[in-house]
Chains A and B, each alone.
Chain A
Amino acid sequence: MNSTAQTLFNQSSLGHSYLSPTGLEIVFVLIGLVVLGSGVLVVTVQNLVHAALWLVVCLGAIAGEFLLLGAELIAWVQVLIYVGAVVVLLLFGLVLTKAPIGRTDELDVKHKLPALLVAAAAAGILVTVLVNAYKNVWFDPRQAVSAGTASANGAALFKFWVLPFETLSVLLLAALVGAIALSRRQGAEKDGGV
């Protein structure tokens, strides 16, 4: 498996160059800049509601990157679940915890500089390792389009990954019951106390 993958990489690296990016790569880099820019805004914007809205831009742009990588179903699941559900949950959380509207002193903390150092070190190490490891690897996302359709994903899911899939359904049920139990406890105590 490993050796075949290696030969695949070596063959696919023939006839490519850093200096002549394809249109696909240019679009990928442009959307990637949107992802990174909105991601930086998510963690640095002082207005909490604006941070949640920038998260919509970031996750939507990541869905675009998934489309460019040939993962069609994942892109739409990303739009449905992340942009549609998770961000709405986070906005509800902001409203229910009476988060301040407008500028906050959210980021005026002592450990800002160490956090920046840790993030910069992680970025430096990861980028160095990845560039050194994969600088000779090219691939064609068009060949992965057939593996990204709903039918291909469904076949793989129900042929090979049935047990993890069912385990995840139990996990979702446990999370649902846990969230309800956590939210109800306060009211139940109050009723018992009276």
Chain B
Amino acid sequence: MHAVYPLVLGALLFAIGLYGVLARRNAITVLMAIELLLNAVTINLVAFGSIIRDALNIGQVFTLFIITIAAAETGLGLAIVLLIFRQKGTAGIDEQRTLAEPARLPDLSKLADRSSEPSPSARTAP
């Protein structure tokens, strides 16, 4: 088999996953695109393991490691997404603005005004 076939397949799948990570809005579909990225890497690893048949079997063993890490990553990622959904009511990653920098200078002054007055939770607590 020509070595270019599996390598080009891995490269194109990587590009597809990259588009998914950048363009999708729902956090869970972003996780799906990350799975595509990891699978592109595993195709490359298996292909090179089949081309260079070394004594350590490094390509296939590292593929097993990557599959394990992907399972752990998916579990943790879903736990984080569920936590965000419970707190904010949405799983869209473009609506998570808590840590975003203020866009323009007028927003900065507004932010300063808001920080000087008591927060809503402090007002409603007593």
Contacts and interface: CB of A to CB of B under 8 A. Distances in A.
B4 A36 contact: no
Interface in A76-115: 77-78, 81-82, 85-86, 89-90, 92-94, 96-99, 104, 106-107, 109, 111-112, 114-115
B14 A40 contact: no
Interface residues of B, number: 70
Provide the main secondary structure of the chain A interface.
helix
A178 B79 contact: yes
A157 B64 contact: yes
B72 A171 contact: yes
A25 to B, nearest CB: 5
B4 A43 contact: no
Contact of B57 (A119, A152, A178): A152
B82 A131 contact: no
B103 interface: no
B11 A62 contact: no
Q: 5 tightest CB-CB pairs across the interface, nearest first? A: A43-B20, A123-B15, A115-B22, A119-B19, A156-B57
Interface of A: 5, 8-9, 16, 18, 22, 24-25, 28-29, 32, 35-36, 39-40, 42-43, 48, 51-52, 55, 58-59, 62, 65-66, 69-71, 73-74, 77-78, 81-82, 85-86, 89-90, 92-94, 96-99, 104, 106-107, 109, 111-112, 114-116, 118-120, 122-123, 126-127, 130-131, 134-135, 137-141, 143-144, 147-148, 152-153, 156-157, 160-161, 164-165, 168, 171-172, 175-176, 178-179, 182-183, 185-186
